[in-house]
Every structure is written in structure tokens, then in C-alpha cells.
Amino acid sequence: MIAGIVALSTLILFAAKAPPMAAFRHLFMGSVGSWLKISQVLMGWIPLTLCACGLVFSFRVGLWNIGVEGQVVAGAITATAILRLGAESSMPGTILVIAFLGGMLGGSLWAALAGFLKVKGGVNEIFGGLGLNFVAQGITLWLIFGPWKRPGVASMSGTELFPPSLWLPTLHTLRLSPVGLALTCAVLIGAAWVLSRTRLGLALKGIGNNPRAAYLHGLKPNRYIIVAMGLAGGCAGLAGTFQVVGVYHRLIPAISSNYGYLALLVVMLANYRIGAAPAIAFFFVCLNVGSIQLPMMLQLDSSLSGIIQGSLVLGALLLYGYRRRRQGGEKV
């Protein structure tokens, strides 16, 4: 699989008349070549892994939560609102904690809305989620250009920066947030525990595998669908809050950095389980960070990273497909 991807990337690079070895070297050195780069990768790993954790909940109950992107945005908007209210406060630490809780709640409610639309309105979660993504994006733009615009001129560069007291603290020399890392690890462990060791985890799995049987066992699928969506959105909301307080220190139009959509690829490649997700997320962010310098160094578009990520997931789907085909063939 890995050999196949290296071969494919090499082929793509040859097709673009670019030197493959140089491109791979830039990808590698640009992501893990120095402590500074590694900390940059980890700052992307935090929101991506948080989103992936959440997605495992919604996949477990059998939902395709494509709305995770909008849930990140909803979390970011809520966190920004709280930070704006608390900008003058004398207790920045408390405000940050409230921002995280609020962001989590914001993402959770946005996801629960998609769940509610599915359960009560018959709107498939894919179309509902997708629609809500664009609505969240529209609200962000409206806020940045309207009520929250910078004094003077509104622009695509976002709202005004928060005072540094409301920035998530980073290590002295590196741009790395220990709080963010600890939070993500805690969410990872918590999610793995809930999914494998609790009744809730078992119920979600049961409903995902066979909603009708679960219903006959006395579980209420609709209620669990909303719970799973709420948990998924909560994780995504944390990611959005982190983007605001830890990375950009303001609300920008592209606040989600597409981590919601990328997290879907991560979880698909991890075969919808949490186990491999952190490692895959790390690798994906390495590709993203490493490809930043491709345009300058080799005049290549940085979307090379996306091609590699997408081909990996397509390759995995092909593999699963063939396996299923073979199994099906044996039965007949």
C-alpha cells in the first residue's frame, strides 16, 4: 500500500515534470525537519484529531456526518463571541475555560440540529450537514463583514486580534500549546473509553449495526442518533475553539482550515475506528505542512498533499472492496 502510494506520487510528479526526490525531501524536511516544524505539525494535529475523535462517534451509530466542517465553524463562532464579551475581563484564564465549554456546546448544538433534522424532518444527515456547513460559512462571513468587522475597514483577513492575555499559552520558543495537546490526548482516551467500555458505546454500536434489532431490544435509535451527533459536534466545536484561541487569535473566513473534511478522510482510512486515527492524522498534517513550501521551491501547487491523501483513501476503499468481493464470491 505504502509502496503503491510512493510509486503513484512519483508518477504524478514525473507527469508534472518535477523532480520526485526533491519534492519528497521538501515534504519530509518541511514537516519533521526541525523542532519548529514538528510543533507546527502538532498545532494542526490537535484540531484534526479532535474532529476525527468526534467522527468515530457518528460513524459508530451509522451516520455520515459530513457536517463536521460546519460544527468546527459553529464552535469557533461561539468561542469568538465569548472572547469578545470577556475581552475586558480581569480573569483571562476563566474566560478561556468558558470559551472552550461554549465552543464545545456550539458545535454540539449545530450537530444536534443536523441530527434533529434527520430524526424529525426526514432530512438525510449528508444533505442536512452539507447545507448547515454552508449556512455556518455564510454566518461567519456575515459576522466578519457586519457586526464584528474591524474598526475602519472590514476585510477577508478576519476580525480584530484578541488581546494576548486571551491567547492559549505556548511554549517559550516553539509555537506549541501544551494545553491543546493535553486536551486532545484526554479527548482521545475519553472517546476510546466511552466507545469500548460503556453502555453508551455498546448502544451506539448496536444501533449502527442494526437499528431495527436495537429498537426491539428497547434502545431508542433516534435518541442515540442525537447523542452521537452531539458528541461528534462537541469534539468538532473544541477543534474550532482551538483554531480561534490557539492558532489564529481571531475569527477568519477559513477558520476551519478544512480540518473537518480532512478528518473524514482520516477516519475512513482508519477503517472508522479510533486506534489508528491519531497516527494517520499526524501523517496527513505532515503532508499539509510539508507541502507549504512546494510552490516556492519547486513551483508546484501545494495540493500535492491532498492528492496523496485522497489516493491513499481511494486505495483503502479499493482494498476493502476487493476483500468484500472475494468473501462474497466464496459464499456463492
Partner 1 sequence: MSELNLAILLGSVVAGAAPIVLAAVGENITEKSGVINLSLDGSILLSAMVAFLIAYETQSLSIGFLGGAAAGGLVASLVGVFSIYLKQSQVAVGFVLTLTARDLAYFFGNPYSRLYGPQVSPWPIPVLHKIPLLGPIFFHHAGIIYLSMFMIVFWWWYMYKTPAGLRLRAVGESPEAAYAKGTDSRVLQVGYTILGGLLVGLAGATFSLCTKPGWGHPQGAEGTGWISLAIVIFGGWHPVRVAFGAYLFSFLQVMGIQFQGLWPSVPAQVFQVAPFPLMIFTLVLMYAAQQGSAEAGGRRSWPHRIAARLSGSAPAALGRSFRPE
Which residue ranges make up the site for partner 1 (CB under 8 A)? 12, 15-16, 64, 66, 117, 121-124, 126-128, 130-132, 134-135, 137-138, 141-142, 145-146, 149, 154, 261, 264-265, 268, 299-301, 303-307, 309-311, 313-314, 317-318, 320-322, 324-325, 328
**In the complex, least distance from residue 223 CB atom to partner 1, rounded to whole angstroms:** 19
Buried b (16+ CB within 10 A) or exposed e, 224-250: bbbbbbbbbbbbbbbbbbbbbbbbbbb
What's the closest the beta carbon of residue 56 comes to partner 1, in angstroms? 15
Closest to partner 1 by CB, 28 vs 322, is 322
Residues 6+ apart with CB under 8 A from 228: 57, 58, 60, 61, 63, 115, 204
Grid cell at residue 156: 477577508
In angstroms, what is the minimal distance from the CB of 19 to partner 1?
15
- Return the residue matching grid coordinates 486505495: 315
The residue (of 197 and 325) whose beta carbon lies closer to partner 1 is: 325
Instruction: Report the residue number, 86 or 129, with the smaller CB distance to partner 1.
Output: 129
- Give the count of beta carbons closer than 10 Å to the beta carbon of residue 208: 20
Residue type, 257: S
For partner 1, give the closer residue by CB, 135 or 292. Answer: 135
Q: CA 1 to CA 262: how far, in whole Å?
A: 20
Grid coordinates representing 129 are 450537514
Give whichever of 188 and 266 is closer to partner 1, judged by the CB atom.
Answer: 266
Q: How far is the CB of 319 from partner 1 (least distance, A)?
A: 10
Question: Minimum Å distance from CB 77 to partner 1?
Answer: 14
